Structure 1
Amino acid sequence: MDPLVVVTFAVVALLEIAVPLVLGYWIVRRFGVPWRIFGLGALFFIAVQVIHTPLVLVTQAPLYLAFLPMGTTAAVAVLAVYLGLLAGLFEELGRYLVYRYYFRRRGIALTRENGLQFGAGWGGVESMLVALIVISGMLSYIALTGDGWSLFVPDDPAVQAQVEALRSLTPLDILPGLAERMMTITLHIAWSLLVLAAVVYGKKLLLVLAVLWHAAVDAAAVYLVQTQGIFVTEAAVFVFAVLGLAYILWEWRRPAS
């Protein structure tokens, strides 16, 4: 067991929880937006996933197997597009419905500041949930690679292979996940502002753009991580995140109507 790997796991998990909260706090202090908007973003992300996640779990394997005769690459490509579109449709339509119906009925102003905080909560809670997975991974790493636990590992080739894979981990294998969370939060804020604009200006085309943008990011991530590896994947997500940051800055500098 490498103590540096354990420390990296812990730091990554801590930052994946702390950064969204710090961002939410900054928005509260800077713009006077209440924490309630952050909480609504988190709540409605979870609500969307209650339907979205089971659908993914039930359909992705049969879809992949159905296209597997065309070749592994083709099957992965089809699956990537499918998962990307599902994510885009569920999450962006979810945002749209929350803004159009829940915000308006509750008298919550459709301002850029509220959209910023809502996106921070939406992407922030996803980051926190991923942090729980990171903590679980850290505990598995400690349990399966520590010298005292080696006697309890089954003498099964598949299990032994998993243990060896864990033992080969380095901090560089863990850090990209933190970078991805920060980039994803940026994208969620950008998408939240874009969908907000679709509601405020009554332009459904902006909603379609948000769905396709979200779908493109997720599809690229699914396909590239299977075919090119984690670092190429994170580079692609970085490009999308830069575009997201550029849109956020453009939206903020545009005169409010």
Structure 2
Amino acid sequence: TAGLCEETARYAVYRWWIRSARTWREALMFGAGHGGIEAILLGVLAGIAFVQLAALRDTDLTTLPLTAEQLAALQKQLADYWAAPWYFGLLGAVERALALCLHLSLAVMVLQVFRRKQVWWLGAAILWHATVDAVVLYVFTLWGAYWSEAVLAGLAAVSLGIVLALRSSEEAPLQEPVSTAVTVAPAPVVVARAESDLEEKLRESQFIK
């Protein structure tokens, strides 16, 4: 679902909003902007969650208007959160950095719909996005967060490979044409004829005296 919605939205932005963005570099900027905004929003949500959990850490939870089941669930959530190692909290930042590579590849793939006039690139982007999400979720379910991040790192490397493979040769700057003007020297025959005419006029001038 995420792949279908996000890539369709990406296509719509290319189609109706940034119609002039048709280069590889502009696609990278678009993908970085998408991934960056997503990372910022998730970072804000994570920050809000941290503030809430920190506030509840020293609070007597029994004073809150919670049922017994809700109280037990909240106590377990707090215990698990604060018992986790400090570096566990960095996984979110690592995941966003790796996801940015995915967004770059998807932005370049959807761009090919307009550069190459082939709509199947949109389907390829949707499929690639859905594949990454499904594989990472499957690994997370079986082996946990660390293995899922490792797999995501491998998929991010594949995404960067897609970005480089789709780099257009037209992105190279055009070179200024070199002037080919050539100064043509006077032909030897013409020079010799001019010298002969000059000598003849000099001889004639001797008889005019």
Q: For this structure pair, what is the TM-score category when the shorter chain's length is used for normalisation?
A: 0.7 to 0.9
* Structure 1 counterpart of 2:80, one-letter code: A
Match of residue 231 from structure 1? 146
**Structure with a larger share of its residues in helix:** 1
CA distance in 1 between counterparts of 2:63 and 2:113 reads 54
Paired positions, count: 166
Counterpart in the other structure of 1:245: 160
Amino acid at match of 1:89: L
- Cα distance in 2 between the residues matched to 1:137 and 1:169: 15
Q: Does 1:161 align with 2:73?
A: no
Look up the SS of the partner of 1:159 in the other structure: helix
1:152, CA displacement in angstroms?
A: 6.3
| Matched residue type, 1:135 | G
Counterparts in 2 of 1:237 and 1:151: CA distance versus 1, 3 Å: closer
User: What residue is the counterpart of 1:218 in the other structure?
Assistant: 133
CA displacement at 1:88 relative to structure 2: 1.1
The answer (yes or no) to whether the contact 2:57–2:78 under 8 Å persists in 1 is yes
2:35 corresponds, among 123, 127, 130, to 123
Deviation per CA, 1:14-65, whole angstroms, max 9, x where unpaired?
A: xxxxxxxxxxxxxxxxxxxxxxxxxxxxxxxxxxxxxxxxxxxxxxxxxxxx
| Structure 1 unaligned spans of 5+ | 1-85
Q: In 1, are the aligned partners of 2:14 and 2:21 still within 8 Å (CA)?
A: no
Show structure 2 runs of 5+ residues with no match: 172-209
SS at 1:222 equivalent: helix
Query: Contact 2:98/2:152 (CA < 8 Å) preserved in 1?
Result: yes
- Tell me the secondary structure at the aligned position of residue 203 of structure 1: coil
Name the TM-score, length of structure 1 as normaliser.
Answer: 0.59
Shift in CA distance, 102/163, structure 1 to aligned 2, threshold 3 Å: closer
Output aligned runs, 1:150-189, within 5 Å. 150=60, 154=64, 156-189=71-104
Q: 1:231 & 1:166 partners in 2: Cα distance?
A: 16
CA RMSD of aligned residues (A): 2.0
Residue aligned with 1:256, SS: helix
Cα offset, 1:151, TM superposition: 6.3
How far residue 153 of structure 1 moved from its aligned partner, in angstroms, is: 6.0
What percent of counterpart residues are identical?
31
**2:120 pairs with 1:205:** yes
Q: Contact conserved, 1:198 with 1:206, CA < 8 A, in 2? A: yes
Find the residue that maps to 1:158 and give its secondary structure: helix
Counterpart in the other structure of 1:28 = none
In 2, are the aligned partners of 1:144 and 1:153 still within 8 Å (CA)?
Answer: no
* Counterpart residue identity of residue 170, structure 2: A
The structure that has the greater radius of gyration is 2
Given the superposition, is the C-alpha separation of residues 109 and 137 from structure 1 closer, same or farther in structure 2, using an over 3 Å criterion?
Answer: closer
Following TM superposition, by how much is the alpha carbon of 1:245 offset from its aligned partner in structure 2, in angstroms? 1.1
